[in-house]
Structure 1
Amino acid sequence: MYLQEWAKPTDKPLCLPLQDIYKIGGGTVPVEQMQTGVLKPGMMVTFAPVNVTSEVKSIEMHLEVLSEALPRNNVGFNVKDVLCGNMAEDNKNDLPMEAAGFMARVIILNHPGQISAVYVPLLDCHIPHIAHKFEKKKKKLEDGPKFLKSDDAAIVDMVPRNLKCFENFSDYPPLVHFPVCNMRQMIAVGVIKAVDKKAARANKVTKSAQKA
């Protein structure tokens, strides 16, 4: 018996969330784990939802300079004008866009009461805690239930309270699973099935990217 080696999704477009950002020597260094695609020095990447395009100057992993980064590599790279929580994607293959909301399959694990359509918990979906509002709900065999409770499973329309970028399960499986938290407890888990994306805002290109 053996474990099958995980196939790295290098054939998919670049997509990686920025979890931590550091200021080093006057530059901006995002640090995160690669999820899909390939990242190389000299590439032009666009960050959503701020819609900033910048050139990747260099890539390092554990103080070692890399010629390219692959999925599951924990890397840092030198760019400018980005924020924690932004999503970086290759602007030549799949331009990232701000999400107006998304539809998710949610399983309620442990909630002391009832969850209605005005519920606003915190989600951890490849980025730090972000508040989301439960909008419309659809349980199995019941359309538009008045509330959800522990052990229920439902399809829920959710709306983020901050400007964020999300992807759906069919395109980027590593980026769509999330826990739902309230009062420092995990009360539910979910998977993003579809995303309602807004039209892209005016793109800002950094000076270094213009010179490249």
Structure 2
Amino acid sequence: MSIRVVVADDQELVRSGFSMILEAQPDIEVVAEAGDGVEAVAAVRDHAPDVLLLDIRMPRMDGLEAARLVCAESGCRVVMLTTFDLDEYVYEALYAGASGFLLKDVRRDDLVHAVRVVAGGDSLLAPSVTRRLVAELVERRRRRLRAEGAGVADPAVRLDVLTAREEETLRLLARGLSNAEIARALFVSEHTVKTHVSNVLGKLGLRDRVQAVICAYESGLVAPGAG
């Protein structure tokens, strides 16, 4: 079966360029294009795609609100498109349920790989830039909350439901390790790691590995800048 994709970007050249690259793949089908957030949400409702490539900055409804709606209403996986790797909205989009992000100058092969990875149920988490991005944006949010007089969540409130091994798995996830790398670090099988990851997501009510990384940083389990 083909991977069904919707491409949403207000720049026609970007939108058509991405669509042409993806349509050239034998296992990917672009079922719709959208020029703003309203059209993107409607396209997901009408076509039930597997993946939505969604620009963050768009007219009528921005990508952040569109991502919230799509992630709340469907199982469609959302990948945010941005021009800047430290876009202020990227963190909020990931928190809303997006499975990762791509810069608009992404290479052809990386774009295709990203769609396949996300459609397969994983997240765009491996590149260290994603980990640095999440760490930086979480720290910015913490500073903003402190400036506004709001408190920062006590890590025990969220993480006390995890076993010691599940907590360690979450810590390694936040460092960007793959299941195979976590298995080697913990001296267990990959099957056991998959079970731990599934338990972490289920117990903490998280959508995927990206939200797990955000949770690890927000809770204080992993400090921004930690290796």
TM-score by length of 2: 0.25
Greater helix fraction, Structure 1 or Structure 2: 2
Larger RCO (CA under 8 A, 6+ residues apart): 1
Bigger radius of gyration: 1
TM-score by length of 1: 0.26
Greater strand fraction, Structure 1 or Structure 2: 1
